[in-house]
Amino acid sequence: MHDKPLSKFTGRLVRRRPGVSRPAPERVGPDTYGLDEDKTLRFAADRLGPEEEQRLAEEVAEILPLGWSLSPRAKERLYTVSSHLGGEPQLLDWLDRHPGLPRLTARLTAMTGNLDRYSDDPSVVEAVRAARAEGALPAELEELLPPQTDEETLSDLAYRIDSLLFEQRTGDAARLALTAADWLRTAARQAPSRSPMLDEMAEFMAHLHEDVRQAGAAV
């Protein structure tokens, strides 16, 4: 992600899966998702070549948004990959090193996790409220977000992106993320007062907008 590695923004993720106050989507039908067992085990033993590792990264990107509804076997294999890399932040960094769907999924996941984290900061909530009072909310977001701005607003937005990823509508999730990143960057920069979290959010959204755009173009 330019000169700002993804790890800068994944080490402090707050995950509220599958949403702060909303039920998880439910999968229907048989579980057809999972990771190839042979590739998973050879990856954990550091015996996977570059081409097979790319394919494994694509498989991980396909199932990562389904995490809470995967079969126990699929969860176990995902855990094997994640624990071999050192945990969720390292898993996202690894996905980000692989072009296409893995990179885009990593960046969208980093965005939703940080939206949850920013929701806890009063200065961010106030900046979002001030931006909405100015009538600066894009039409795409106006249709999705409830009219009342509070500590749930950014988590609502994260949930919408998560839901699109869950439905494997990755392109729609990327377009929503781009709109949200552009608006939140402006809201943070034009906030009536400053805070360290607002400065971080402005920086993150500026980089994320370009990085999601680039990653999405390769999918």
pLDDT (tens digit per residue) in 136-148:
678 888 888 888 8
Check residue 19 and give its pLDDT.
38
pLDDT of 103-138, one tens digit each?
A: 999 999 999 999 989 998 999 999 999 988 887 678
Q: Is the pLDDT score of 21 beyond 70?
A: no
Torsion of CA 112, 214, 90, 116, to 10 degrees: -10
pLDDT of 99-111, one tens digit each?
A: 999 999 999 999 9
Q: Kindly indicate the confidence band of residue 41, based on its pLDDT and cuts at 50, 70 and 90.
A: very high
**Identity of the amino acid at 98:** H
The token pair at 52 is 């097979």
Largest CA distance in the chain: 56
Q: Is the pLDDT score of 4 beyond 80?
A: no
Q: Give the count of alpha carbons within 13 A of 10, CB side only.
A: 22
Check residue 9 and give its pLDDT.
58
Q: Is the pLDDT score of 22 beyond 50?
A: no
| 17-41 mean pLDDT | 58
Lowest mean per-residue pLDDT among 51-60, 66-75, 96-105, 121-130 = 66-75
pTM for the structure as a whole:
0.85
Rounded percentage of the chain residues whose pLDDT exceeds 90: 63
| 71-77 mean pLDDT | 90
Taking the alpha carbons at both ends of the chain, their separation in whole angstroms is 17
Q: Kindly indicate the confidence band of residue 154, based on its pLDDT and cuts at 50, 70 and 90.
A: very high
Check residue 34 and give its pLDDT.
74
